[in-house]
Structure 1
Amino acid sequence: MIFTVGGIKGGSGKSTIATNLTIWLSKQGFDVLLVDADEQETATKFTKWRERVTDGNSGYTATILTGDAVRQQVLKFKSKFDHIVIDTGGRDTTSQRAALFVSDVYIVPFNPRSFDLWTIADVENLVKEVRSIKPKELYAFSILNRADPKGSDNKDSAELLRESEVIKHIGPVIVGRKSFANTASNGLSVIEGNPVDEKAVHEISLLFSKIMSEIDVNFNVKNDV
Structure 2
Amino acid sequence: MIYTLSGIKGGSGRSTIAEHLTVWLAKSGADILLVDADEQGTASDFTAWREHTLDGNVGYTLVQLIGANLRKQVETMKPKYDHIVIDTGGRDTTSQRAALIVADVALIPIQPRSHDVWTLSKLTEMLGEIQASRLEPLTVYSFLNRADITSADNREAAEALSSMAELGFVPHAVKNRKAYPNAGAKGLAVFEIESPDQKAVSEIDALFNHITHGSLISTTEA
In the aligned structure 1, how far is the partner of 2:203 from the partner of 2:157? 18
**Match of residue 39 from structure 1:** 39
Equivalent residue number for residue 206 of structure 2: 206
Q: How far 1:216 moved relative to its partner?
A: 2.0
Structure 1 residue 100, shift from structure 2 partner: 0.5
Equivalent residues in 2 for 1:124-139, closer than 5 Å: 124-139=124-139
Q: What is the letter of the counterpart of residue 179 of structure 2?
A: S
Aligned counterpart, 1:154: 154
Unpaired runs of 5+ in structure 1? 219-225
Name the % identity. Answer: 49
Q: Deviations over 1:97-153 (max 9, x none)?
A: 000010000011111124111111111111111111112221111110001111222
Partner of 2:122: 122
Q: Are 1:21 and 2:21 counterparts?
A: yes
Q: CA–CA distance in 2 between the matches of 1:38 and 1:166?
A: 24
Structure 1 residue 156, shift from structure 2 partner: 1.4
What SS does the aligned partner of 1:196 have?
A: coil
CA drift of 1:217 comes to 5.8
Q: Distance in 2 between matches of 1:12 and 1:152?
A: 18
3-state SS of the aligned residue for 1:43?
A: helix
Query: C-alpha distance in 1, partners of 2:105/2:60?
Result: 19
Could you report, residue by residue, the CA deviation over 1:47-71 in whole angstroms, capped at 9, with x for unpaired residues? 0111111111000000000001210
Question: Structure 1 CA distance, aligned partners of 2:76 and 2:117?
Answer: 35
Separation (CA, whole Å) in 2 of partners of 1:171 and 1:50: 30
Counterpart-to-counterpart distance in 2, 1:30 and 1:55: 20
**1:83 and 2:83 are equivalent in the alignment:** yes
- For the Cα contact (< 8 Å) 1:4–1:99, is it kept in 2? yes
One-letter amino acid of the structure 2 residue matched with residue 42 of structure 1: T
Let me know the Cα RMSD of the aligned residues: 1.2
Aligned to 1:111: 111
Give the residue type in structure 1 aligned to 2:63.
Answer: T
How many angstroms apart in 2 are the aligned matches of 1:152 and 1:5? 26
CA deviations 1:74-103 (Å, max 9, x no partner) are 001100000000000000000000000100
TM score, norm. by length of structure 1: 0.94
- Does the 8 Å contact 1:110/1:117 carry over to 2? yes
The equivalent residue for 1:193 is 193
**C-alpha separation in 1, matches of 2:168 and 2:217:** 17
Unaligned runs of 5+ in 2: none
Contact persistence 1:179–1:193 (CA under 8 A): no
Question: In 1, distance between residues paired with 2:62 and 2:25?
Answer: 14
SS of the counterpart of 1:87?
Answer: strand
SS at match of 2:48: helix
Q: Distance in 2 between matches of 1:88 and 1:15?
A: 8
